[in-house]
């Protein structure tokens, strides 16, 4: 199970975007499970927190939604990346890598 830890809003957003980039259109449950899998279960967030994040991304027009049929043959809402979203991924990824590099320098013993 592991500890449930807080995940910053911005990071969750990026994770969702990357998931959709990799997997193509997915419904909310699928996105949540995929994030859990990719983080190798080190990160078990409350799955529900994904929904406000999805709404936020949709308001910014980085993703769009459409109703479709899930694998269980029921109605489900599917999310997919928009062109704007794709562009955003590149920017956010660069941002993250810059922050990670800076943090790495801090965390390494002084050279």
Residues in contact with other proteins by CB under 8 A are 27-30, 32-33, 44, 46-49, 51-52, 55-56, 59-60, 70, 72, 74-77
Q: Of 59 and 90, which has the nearer Cβ to other proteins?
A: 59
CB of 82 to other proteins, least distance (A): 14
Q: Are 78 and 29 in contact (CB under 8 A)?
A: no
Q: How far is CA 71 from the centre of its chain?
A: 21
Q: Of 79 and 81, which has the nearer Cβ to other proteins?
A: 79
Q: Of 68 and 103, which has the nearer Cβ to other proteins?
A: 68
| DSSP result, 1-70 | --------HHHHHHHHHHHHHHH-SEEHHHHHHHHHHHTTTS----GGGHHHHHHHHHHTTSEEEEEEE-
Q: Of 41 and 97, which has the nearer Cβ to other proteins?
A: 41
CB of 87 to other proteins, least distance (A): 14
List the beta bridge partners of residue 55.
Answer: none
CB of 77 to other proteins, least distance (A): 5
Q: What is the three-class DSSP state of 71?
A: coil
CB of 19 to other proteins, least distance (A): 15
């Amino acid at each position: 199970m592991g500890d449930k830890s807080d995940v910053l809003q911005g990071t969750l957003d990026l994770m969702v975007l990357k998931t959709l980039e990799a997997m193509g259109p997915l419904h909310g449950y699928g996105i949540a499970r995929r994030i859990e899998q990719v983080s190798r279960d080190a990160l078990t967030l409350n799955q529900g927190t994904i929904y406000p994040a999805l709404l936020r991304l949709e308001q910014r027009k980085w993703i769009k939604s459409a109703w479709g049929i899930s694998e269980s043959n029921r109605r489900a809402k599917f999310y997919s990346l928009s062109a704007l979203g794709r562009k955003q991924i590149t920017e956010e990824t660069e941002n993250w890598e810059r922050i990670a590099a800076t943090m790495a320098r801090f965390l390494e013993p002084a050279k």
